[in-house]
Amino acid sequence: MKLITRDDIQGWAERFDSKGFFPILMSKLVRATTPASTQVDFPSGSAVFIGGWDGIVNSEAKTSYVPEGISLWEFGTEERPAIQAERNYVKRTANPLGHDISNRTFVFVTGRVWAGKNDWQQEKIKEGKWKHVEVYDSSDIEQWLEIAEYVLRWFADYLRKAPIDGIDLAEQFWKYWAEFRDITLKPEIITTGRKKEQEDIFNFLKAAPNITSVKATSKNEAIAFIIASAKLFPKQNQRDFFQEL
C-alpha cells in the first residue's frame, strides 16, 4: 500500500494552500534527487503571486525528473491542466524573462491528473522553440516521491497521513517532542551547558558517514538534543540537515 497516491496529490491540489505550498514540495523533490551542487530557486508562500518563473533549476546532471542544465519551471493546480499549461507555455515562450529558450528546458508540473500530457509535450517539442519540454502530473509526482523517501514521509505528515514502519522525520519528532500544550521548548533550552557536545554533533555530521553516541537520560532526549543542535547550525547547514528550501 502506497503512503501517498496520485488521488492524495489531486485532492491536495484542490485545496487553497496548494498553490503557495507547491514550490516547497518541488524544491524538496529536486534537491533530494539531484547532485548536491544543483542550484534551486523556487519562491514559495505569498511570493508565488509576485510573478516571474515558479522555479529555476541548474543541474550538472540529468536525473529521472530533472533535466541537465538550466530548466525553467511552472506549476499548476487548476482543474483543467491542459489550458493552464498552454497559457503558461505561450506566455513564457513570448517573454522568457531574459532567458534564451533555445538553451533552456521548459517544465510544467500539475497536481492534477492529465491524460493528454504526453501528446501536448510532443507537440511542443516538435515546435523546436525550446531546448526541450517536460510535463509531469500527479501520477509522476507520486512516482517521484517513491524515490525520495524523506520527502515522501515529510509530505505524508503535511497531509496528516500517519507515518509507516515506526519512522519519524526530524521535523515530526521535534514537533511532537518539543511542542505541547501552550509551551514550545526552544533549542537553546535543550542544548544549554553542552556547547562541546553541540560542536561534536556539528563536526560529526560534516564528516564522512560513521557512528557516534550521545549521552542522555533516554533515547528520545538524545534524539531531541541532536535535532536541537541542528536547529542552531548555520543556516545552510540547517537546510542540509532538515532538507529545507
Give the Cα separation of 17 and 216 in Å (integer): 39
- Helix (H) or strand (E) holding 76, with range, is strand 69-76
Q: Where do the CATH 3.40.91 domains begin and end in the chain?
A: 6-158
Q: What is the mean pLDDT of the chain?
A: 87
Strand bridging mode 132-136 / 105-110: parallel
**Alpha helices, DSSP H only, in 73-209?**
81-94, 117-127, 138-146, 149-158, 170-178, 187-191, 195-206
Neighbouring residues of 51: CB distance < 8 A, sequence distance ≥ 6: none
Is residue 109 left, alpha or beta, with left meaning phi > 0 and alpha meaning psi from -120 to 50?
Answer: beta
Of the chain, the percentage scoring pLDDT greater than 70 comes to 88
* Nine cell digits for residue 112: 492534477
CA atoms within 13 A on the CB side of 172: 19
Q: Does the structure show a pLDDT above 90 at 44? A: no
Cβ-based burial of 147 (10 A; exposed 0-12, middle 13-18, buried ≥19): middle
> Which range, 94-98, 168-172, 241-245, is most confident?
94-98
Residue 223: count other Cβ atoms within 10 Å of its Cβ: 17
pLDDT tens, position by position, 182-213: 567 788 888 888 888 888 888 888 888 888 88
Cβ-based burial of 37 (10 A; exposed 0-12, middle 13-18, buried ≥19): exposed
Q: Does the structure show a pLDDT above 60 at 166? A: no
Give the Cα separation of 168 and 149 in Å (integer): 12
Q: Give the domain 6-158 fold.
A: Restriction Endonuclease (3.40.91)
Of residues 73 and 242, more confidence is placed in 73
Least confident of 88-97, 100-109, 133-142, 159-168: 159-168
Question: DSSP for 38-60?
Answer: -EEE---GGGGGS-S-SEEEEES
pLDDT band at 240 (very low <50, low <70, confident <90, very high): confident
Q: How far is CA 199 from the centre of its chain?
A: 28
Residue 59: count other Cβ atoms within 10 Å of its Cβ: 20
Residue 108: count other Cβ atoms within 10 Å of its Cβ: 27
What pLDDT, on the 0 to 100 scale, is given for residue 189? Answer: 82
Cβ-based burial of 175 (10 A; exposed 0-12, middle 13-18, buried ≥19): middle
